[in-house]
A and B are shown apart, each in its own frame.
Chain A
């Protein structure tokens, strides 16, 4: 308790936090609800609330606070059963010596993969996307979700198995 923490009530600090976390938290909510607009609305509400409570949230705990608050806000919203991850994008890979046929197949496979991910149970999907798309480590995911690392590894392995089941036939090709 020797170092003075920067106050979130300072506009500069607040902006810095916003730029650092807004995108990641929005994606996190998006992976849960599959609706980018809804995710953005939820996270913006969370940040407005943070501004109101700026004096009560300590700078060191703000990241955990943001994920926790966004998760709660998401759970409070209704109607997120049907998840369509249409905003997941295929990044164009800079490998140009692949045949058009192969690219076609890859394109198709990507579509199937998206469907398969969307079909995962929410808990597994969340962990899988945070790990593979957001490139977060298991301890990081554990911190965000407020769980132990072991639980994350378990969910991850379940997600891998389920994906393999769902995509099994396509992989044989």
Chain B
């Protein structure tokens, strides 16, 4: 049976399945035994069906297993992502503050510190003072924020500005002392500086060597002075017709003490100085000439004044 052989080949059947037979071939095939057999098998096979599957039961089984997973693993995952996010923010924040942040130097009671700036300028901080400036790119815009008292020795160069609570001091290259505490005082030791007060009623002041200004009751008082260096740099504080309150304030900056001043006239004037080395000497040189008795507490923290 050559025809039977031909029909019973894989290639021929594959072509039949793909619908690629010509009409002639199809006719011949459909008349053959092969076709009849296959049709018979297929008819029988079509009456078979797949196994019965209980989908809903399986779904409830799987859902139960899934709930166990959701209750455990995703929590860990979520924490990870939170940790990652927090770490990223922390790193960004740290990087930002490091690169764009300010570096601050400050001194406590009785401390002095010298700060060397990136351009070689020196800032000598007196007690309880602070200076801060940009960590990077500072040389482009020489600007520092300042509070307290300090002596500035500025290297010549681009404009150098000091921001204080009372105004801006603008210089090119010079030496000057700023005192920005309860009272504000500015002394120019070399070159010239410009003071731009924040108070709108005041005009800017240009100061030459040996000129001192003080802000008193909202006014600028200008006067001459003859020192080469501020006294505090030599280890003492000096006063010329200053009220007692200013003297006590300065004492409390250089020594860790507090004053009990009930019944004392704080407006009486004092001229003189005190040393930063010894509390006893300082109290002797300031209070005794004014006829004030004082009593030091045992821990040397509180000094009670009496007439």
Q: Which residues of A pack against B, CB within 8 Å?
A: 14-15, 18-19, 22-23, 26-27, 30-31, 36, 40, 43-44, 47-48, 51-52, 87-91, 93, 106, 109-110, 113-114, 117, 128-129, 132-134, 138, 149-150, 153-154, 156-158, 160-161, 163-164, 167-168, 171
Contact = CB atoms under 8 A, between A and B. Distances in A.
A26 B53 contact: yes
A89 B55 contact: no
B47 A114 contact: no
B44 to A, nearest CB: 5
A133 B48 contact: yes
B49 A23 contact: no
Contact of B59 (A19, A133, A157, A161): A19
**Interface residue SS majority, chain A:** helix
Given A44-B61, A48-B62, A113 B17 contact: no
Q: Nearest 5 pairs between A and B by C-beta?
A: A157-B13, A87-B51, A27-B50, A51-B66, A157-B14
A156 B45 CA distance: 14
B40 interface: yes
Interface in B37-68: 37-38, 40-42, 44-53, 55, 58-59, 61-63, 65-66
Interface residues of B, number: 37
Nearest to B38: A160
Interface in B274-295: none
Interface of B: 8-14, 16-18, 34, 37-38, 40-42, 44-53, 55, 58-59, 61-63, 65-66, 69-70, 73
Nearest to A151: B14
**Interface residue SS majority, chain B:** helix
Given A51-B69, A132-B45, A157-B16, A164 B53 contact: no
B155 to A, nearest CB: 61
Contacts of A22: 53, 55, 58-59
B63 to A, nearest CB: 8
